[in-house]
């Protein structure tokens, strides 16, 4: 299945009221990304991910991002699985290494005018809040245009890549920032800064 989405950074949450978004649910998400020296997913712009979303678990494979001006377009397969810990054990026994860990608080929304869109607002440690609008290309663009999003501000990078850039720009002292992209690391960092 093809994933087609726009991702943008939000400075506020006014879009919820402006677009009359209907909150569906809020979940805590833990994503763990895997790779090894033989598969080299990262160098091929592919993703192999295990996700825990409250009490549900998913495993995902994403193909490389296709060239596109404003949207992220890539092949995605993401079935639900029954056990996060069993999947983690299997993945590690296949000699796949944990290369990134990402936490976020994700809120799902719907909108009556575009019932096929999946709209999420994600709060990340360190880097703030982002909106993702996923669906058909036509509906994603219609939503962006109707609510005056500047297409020049769409983001083609994933949030782990954004966090690594943030760490470099702000000289954050993380040896492996891709593993430190968690709310606990943010709290620990803020406590050190305040003491």
Domain range enclosing 72: 2-194
Greatest Cα-to-Cα distance within the chain, rounded to the nearest angstrom: 51
The number of folded domains in the chain is 1
pLDDT tens digits, 57-116: 999 999 999 998 899 999 999 999 999 999 999 999 999 999 999 999 999 999 999 999
pLDDT tens digits, 160-190: 899 999 999 999 888 889 998 999 999 999 9
Q: What angle do CA 88, 90, 95 make, to 5 degrees?
A: 95
Give the dihedral of Cα atoms 150, 156, 160, 163; nearest 10 deg. Answer: -50
User: What does the alpha-carbon distance between residue 120 and residue 6 come to, in Å, rounded to a whole number?
Assistant: 11
Going by pLDDT thresholds of 50, 70 and 90, the confidence category of residue 195 is confident
Report the candidate in 106, 104, 95 with the shortest Cα–Cα distance to residue 31: 104
DSSP category for residue 181: B
User: What does the alpha-carbon distance between residue 135 and residue 48 come to, in Å, rounded to a whole number?
Assistant: 21
Pair type for strands 2-10 and 118-124: unpaired
Based on C-alpha coordinates, what's the Rg of the chain? 17
DSSP category for residue 127: T
In 3-state terms, what secondary structure has residue 61?
strand
Residue % of the chain over a pLDDT of 70: 100
CATH of the domain at 142: 2.40.320.10
């Amino acid at each position: 299945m093809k994933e087609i989405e726009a991702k943008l950074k939000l400075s506020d949450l006014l879009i919820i009221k402006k677009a009359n978004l209907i909150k569906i649910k809020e979940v805590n998400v833990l994503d763990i990304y895997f790779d090894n020296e033989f598969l080299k997913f990262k160098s091929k712009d592919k993703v192999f991910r295990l996700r825990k979303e409250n009490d549900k678990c998913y495993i995902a494979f994403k193909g490389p991002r296709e060239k596109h001006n404003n949207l992220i377009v890539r092949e995605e397969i993401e079935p639900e699985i029954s056990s996060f810990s069993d999947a983690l054990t299997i993945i590690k026994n296949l000699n796949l290494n944990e290369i990134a860990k990402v936490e976020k608080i994700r809120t799902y929304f719907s909108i009556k005018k575009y019932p096929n869109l999946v709209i999420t607002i994600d709060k990340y440690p360190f880097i703030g809040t982002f909106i993702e609008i996923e669906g058909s290309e036509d509906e994603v663009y219609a939503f962006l245009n109707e609510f005056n999003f500047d297409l020049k501000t769409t983001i083609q990078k994933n949030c782990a890549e954004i966090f690594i850039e943030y760490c470099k720009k702000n000289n954050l002292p993380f040896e492996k920032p891709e593993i430190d992209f968690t709310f606990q690391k943010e709290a620990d960092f803020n406590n050190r800064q305040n003491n």
